Structure 1
Amino acid sequence: MVFSNTFSPFLAFPVRSLVVSALAAASLAACSHTTRMAAQPQNLPVPAEWANTTGPAAAPATALASDAPAAPALDLAQWWQGFGDAQLVTLIEQALAANPSIVSAQAAVQQARAQVDVQRAGLLPSLDASAGARRSQQGVADASNNYTVGLDASWELDLWGRKRNLVQAGQENLAATQASLYAAHVSLSAEVALHYIQLRNAQERLRIAQHNLALQAQTEQMTRWRVQAGLASSLDAEQARQTLAQTAAQIPSLQASVRQTQHALAVLTGQAPAALLAALAQPAPVPAAPPTWVMRLPADTLRQRPDVQAQEHRVQAALANLSAQERANFPTLRLSGSLGVGALTLGALSDGASVARSIAASLAAPIFDAGANRAQIAAQQAAVVQARQAYRSSVLAALQEVEDALVQLQSDQQRLVHVRVAAEAAGHAQRLAQQRYDSGLIDFRTVLESQRSLLASQDSLASAQAAISTDVVKLFKALGGGWTKENNQLTDENLVSQTVSATE
């Protein structure tokens, strides 16, 4: 076996001179080479706090850490535990274990890790073994055999760090792929929760519609009896029948929504669409949002969000690839050696009948490539710009998602207050209308209108309550919650200054 430290005993004076000359020439080339493109930083300030968590319209369930230091902070890694719904927890755990997108993202991480191993292998010498046999014959009786066994070693020294830059690029790509896996966790857990809330809301709305349908059926039956007794008109009967049919028409669409959402949840958990029909058939309340929790500040949110982390790692990978490409113009030094044993018989090979060894050093430097490497450098520079702009876009999108989620949550909480009042009033109005109609004080039209209003108000209340839970799920997703690994790898230099740089 031949390694670099075994070359020196056999290195003749001309070879040493060649190596020294190669190092000197490469050093001159490195000193004269420009290794970085011109950059024009453009700063994007990150706000110190969220714009929609202060003021009289702020959501009561949210608070900045500085405003409410004593409030318990909800674990964003498993935020779904705060909803207190065992079925929701089970579904999310099943999805994170078996969803095809998660399995695919895990395979992508394994692939990226293997690519890093390939790049690291290029830093080490390579060793090949060979064996051969030859038989030659001259004339009728003269014949001879020749057997050989040998080892060949070669090593391209990474003098200027080109290969190390490629290894770094691979490591950054691996980190980006891991962050993408965590981002898939965030998206999937939120998707399961949103569908689960939608399912429970559809089941509640179906229950409300069926309850009102039964109430209206009783009214329609009583109206027919009153018509037969001459106490009501045929118009009253037809109006009652119309209201009953309109309510009945809503039920099939609600049933379809329930079934379709059950199918979606099954697929999200990696199962066939009908796999969860029995498990999710029993209606249950919409999971209520956690009552108290603490908001992350903007800079902390950017550190937490795996999609932002992935984009930062891609910037670093692009910079490492650029550095490696810039060094492609530098001379390369390759050392090679061989050790071989030859004999006329197989048994004589172990005695070293004929030993041959050689060592060589070769220096190669590009002289003319028609501008190919210069074009490759320009391409890598453009890739750096794209990566930085993608990073800026991910930061802006993260900030917008949180602000939008806060605005929507505050709006829906204010709406819920009024919808709840309207639903209570509609219930009182329906009971009063029925009593007054039974006493002969009002006409039947008022009763029907009160029943329609009650159904609409109860349906709106159920939807408004589900909207609050939906908004909180979206806010947790925007804050980067949903993955358990502590991997906040954004550097302090990037976010302490609260700026994002981009290259024009």
Structure 2
Amino acid sequence: MIDMQINNDTENLAKWWESFNDKTLSQLIEIAIKNNLDLKQAQARIKEAKARREVAGAKLFPSIDAKSSASYSKTRGTKIEDNTVEHLYSAGIDASWEADIFGGKRKSLEAYQAEFEASQWDFKATIVSLISEVALNYIELKTYQNRIEIAEKNLNSQTETYNLTKWKYMAGLNDAIDVTQAEYSMENTRAQLPSLRTAIEEKINTIAVLLGKQPQQISEELKKSHTKPLISEKISLRIPADVLKMRPDIRKAERQLAAQSARVDEAIAGFYPKFTLSGSFGIEALSLNSLVKAATKIITGDFLISLPIFHADEIRQNVEIQTALQEQALLNYEATVLNAIKEVENALVAYAEEQKRKQALEKAVEASQLSFALALQKYEVGLTDFSTVLETQRSLLNLQDQLEQSKGNIFIYLIKLYKAFGGGWESFANEEEN
């Protein structure tokens, strides 16, 4: 029986797949982290959110623009000597700054900062999902391969049984029905092999997509690999009590809620006045040579106060919109937490119950093997009919197949448990925090 303990050790949770003692699985996860396209998209979203945050931060500081111009004008008179030509050259600097008295811009920056952090947690959540998907598909692949191995062994056994009944029929020791029943059982098992091979190809193709590769690049390696994941008889799941707080999807939802809360305050700031300072310094001259030496200097400055008076209730409705979005973000956060608790509880129950099922199946297989051996032995000496042999042989194949599926399910539920705890991102999330 596998002993499962829950203690406090986040280090084991960070690299939980290493407890399976399967080098192939570890290599597949490493490749997936480097090449997976969904993960690269998540990285690109981090860059986008970071750039948006920088744009919002830049709005807190003055803006300065340089300008220059050249104009040409010609006036024609009634006489040639009355014709005049004028050139005007100018250069200068414009500066403006909106004082963030009521914090609207600061709240905008706060929102973009929270969205940037949410994108980082989204990246980490993608890592958790990616690792678990690679592991799940790998375990399912191994389970199908093991089931094929069992089916082929049983096919060989059924072929021997078929030959035995055929030999006895030719010797006049049994009926033709025994031969047809043996053939039916043999071909029925053979018919299961194509669907299992198809499932194997599908799993290889799925793993290839997760790794960002084409199926033929990993197909041969996975088919030749004979390593089998192992679970220690005593598994110590040392999980801190508050581990769910660090689940990436929960942290992402929390940051999205924080961002939307800041958006509400930003919208409220729209009710208050805006104070803008602006100024310019410029020089003008009639020629390029005198632009620097004897230019006319022009200095201007303005102080502008703008107060919203009538916006057809636009500002108020914008506050209502942002408040409604805040409520949605809060509900999403609460739903994410509840879903996390559900996933943990479901995985714990399924993992524990599947172990009990596996133990019962092991005993059933052992008894079925003995029953088949005894039935075959009695049939060979004529002490029982062939239907008994056929029935025990079918039961043995069915139980062996169920046992192999149960062994795979134990791994699957354990992987889902690690995923429910949000493990795995700590080993690979190296994005900049600032």
TM-score, reference length from structure 1: 0.81
The aligned counterpart of 2:330 is 388
Q: Distance in 2 between matches of 1:120 and 1:352?
A: 40
| 1:194 maps onto 2:174 in alignment | no
8 Å Cα contact 2:15/2:427 also seen in 1: no
> Which of 381, 394, 397 pairs up with 1:452?
394
The aligned counterpart of 1:234 is 176
The Cα offsets for residues 455-493 of structure 1, whole Å up to 9 and x where unpaired, read as: 111111111111100110000000001202699xxxxxx
8 Å Cα contact 1:74/1:293 also seen in 2: no
8 Å Cα contact 2:24/2:227 also seen in 1: no
Q: Distance in 2 between matches of 1:249 and 1:224?
A: 21
The aligned counterpart of 1:84 is 21
Residues 1:75 and 1:316: Cα distance change in structure 2 (over 3 Å)? same
User: What does 1:475-494 correspond to in 2, within 5 Å?
Assistant: 475-484=417-426
The Cα offsets for residues 42-81 of structure 1, whole Å up to 9 and x where unpaired, read as: xxxxxxxxxxxxxxxxx9532232xxx7xx7652222111
Residues 1:396 and 1:463: Cα distance change in structure 2 (over 3 Å)? same
After superposing the two structures, state which structure 1 stretch, 311-320 or 93-102, moved more: 93-102
User: What does 1:29-428 correspond to in 2, within 5 Å?
Assistant: 60-65=2-7, 75-138=12-75, 139=77, 140=80, 141-282=83-224, 284=226, 286-290=228-232, 291-298=234-241, 300-428=242-370
**In structure 2, the residue corresponding to 1:147 is in which secondary structure?**
strand
8 Å Cα contact 1:289/1:472 also seen in 2: no
8 Å Cα contact 1:83/1:287 also seen in 2: yes
The aligned counterpart of 1:437 is 379
The Cα offsets for residues 2-30 of structure 1, whole Å up to 9 and x where unpaired, read as: xxxxxxxxxxxxxxxxxxxxxxxxxxxxx
- Which amino acid is 1:294 matched to? L
Q: Distance in 2 between matches of 1:286 and 1:461?
A: 15
- Which amino acid is 1:374 matched to? R
Q: Distance in 1 between matches of 2:394 and 2:88?
A: 103
Deviation of 1:439 (Å) = 2.2
Moved segments of 4+, more than 6 Å: none
Q: Distance in 1 between matches of 2:186 and 2:105?
A: 77
- Which amino acid is 1:92 matched to? I
Residues 1:186 and 1:249: Cα distance change in structure 2 (over 3 Å)? same
Deviation of 1:285 (Å) = 5.1
Deviation of 1:383 (Å) = 1.2
Residues 1:206 and 1:60: Cα distance change in structure 2 (over 3 Å)? closer
Residues 1:273 and 1:83: Cα distance change in structure 2 (over 3 Å)? same
* Long gaps (5+) in structure 2: 430-434
Q: Distance in 2 between matches of 1:485 and 1:327?
A: 42
More helix by share: 2
Residues 1:301 and 1:76: Cα distance change in structure 2 (over 3 Å)? same
8 Å Cα contact 1:73/1:293 also seen in 2: no
8 Å Cα contact 1:286/1:466 also seen in 2: no
8 Å Cα contact 1:157/1:334 also seen in 2: yes
**In structure 2, the residue corresponding to 1:95 is in which secondary structure?**
helix
Deviation of 1:430 (Å) = 1.6
Residues 1:418 and 1:270: Cα distance change in structure 2 (over 3 Å)? same
Q: Distance in 2 between matches of 1:378 and 1:353?
A: 54
8 Å Cα contact 2:22/2:227 also seen in 1: no
Sequence identity, in percent? 36
8 Å Cα contact 2:22/2:228 also seen in 1: no
* Long gaps (5+) in structure 1: 1-58, 488-504
Q: Distance in 2 between matches of 1:425 and 1:147?
A: 103
8 Å Cα contact 1:204/1:285 also seen in 2: no
TM-score, reference length from structure 2: 0.94
8 Å Cα contact 1:201/1:286 also seen in 2: no
